[in-house]
């Protein structure tokens, strides 16, 4: 089965997910949905990942994939470098408050053994 798994294309293989947690959903105060599509990256798709009615922190989630994910990997970007690029993009889209998250979570499927 291992040989078959290694030959099977995994559509998430060139994708990374970033979840940026904040103290409050400040983007809503500005009338923004927290969602978006970007051609310049590094995040290509973004959305408000806040779980309403839960105790989870408000969050902006996003995906990086394709050339953006491969470029970061090719240049061996550290998690801190990826975070810096993502926060810069979020500041451009949502304002200065986006640069001060509580926490940043990251998963890049390129780093997984079977993708």
Three-state secondary structure readout of the chain: CHHHHHHCCCCCCCEEEEEEECCCCHHHHCCCCCCEECCCCCCCEEEECCCCCCCCCCEEEEEEECHHHHHHHHCCCCHHHHHHHHHHHHHHHHCHHHHCCCEEEEEEHHHCCCC
Q: How far apart are CA 73 and CA 30, in angstroms?
A: 34
Q: How confident is the model at residue 98 (pLDDT cuts 50, 70, 90)?
A: very high
pLDDT tens-digit series, residues 33-70: 999 999 888 899 999 998 766 667 899 999 987 777 76
User: Would you say residue 115 has pLDDT above 60?
Assistant: no
Evaluate whether 112 touches 14 at the Cβ level (below 8 Å): no
pTM recorded for the entire structure: 0.80
């Amino acid at each position: 089965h291992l040989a078959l798994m290694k030959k099977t294309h995994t559509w998430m293989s060139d994708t990374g997910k970033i979840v940026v947690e904040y103290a409050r959903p400040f983007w809503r105060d500005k009338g923004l949905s927290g969602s978006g599509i970007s051609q310049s990256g590094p995040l290509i798709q973004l959305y408000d990942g806040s779980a309403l009615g839960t105790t989870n922190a408000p969050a902006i989630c996003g995906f990086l994939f394709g050339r953006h994910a491969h470029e970061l990997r090719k240049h061996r970007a550290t998690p801190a470098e990826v975070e810096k690029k993502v926060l810069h993009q979020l500041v451009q889209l949502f304002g200065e408050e986006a640069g001060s998250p509580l926490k940043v979570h990251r998963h890049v499927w390129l780093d997984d053994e079977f993708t």
